[in-house]
Amino acid sequence: MINKRVEAAVNEQIKREEHSSRLYLAMASWCEVSGFPGAAAFLYAQADEERMHMLKFVHYLNDRNGHALMAALDMPAPEYKSLHDVFEQVMKHEEYITASINELYGISFEEKDFTTANFLQWFINEQIEEESTMRGILDKLNLAGEGKSGGLFHIDKDLAGMAAARATTTGTTAE
Which chain residues interact with ligand FEO by CB under 6 A? Answer: 17, 20, 50, 53, 94, 97, 130
Q: What is the nearest approach in angstroms of ligand FEO to the Cβ of residue 140?
A: 19
- Cβ nearer to ligand FEO, comparing 135 with 151: 135
Smallest gap from Cβ 54 to ligand FEO, in A, equals 8
Cα dihedral sign, 120-123-124-125: positive
Nearer to ligand FEO, 34 or 133 (CB): 133
- Burial class (CB within 10 angstroms; exposed 0-12, middle 13-18, buried 19+) of 10: buried
Dihedral over Cα of 122, 124, 130, 132: its sign: negative
Q: What is the closest distance, in whole angstroms, from the C-beta atom of residue 17 to ligand FEO in the complex?
A: 5
- Whose Cβ is closer to ligand FEO: residue 17's or residue 113's? 17
- Least separation in angstroms between residue 120's CB and ligand FEO is 12
Give the nearer residue to ligand FEO in terms of CB position, either 20 or 116. 20
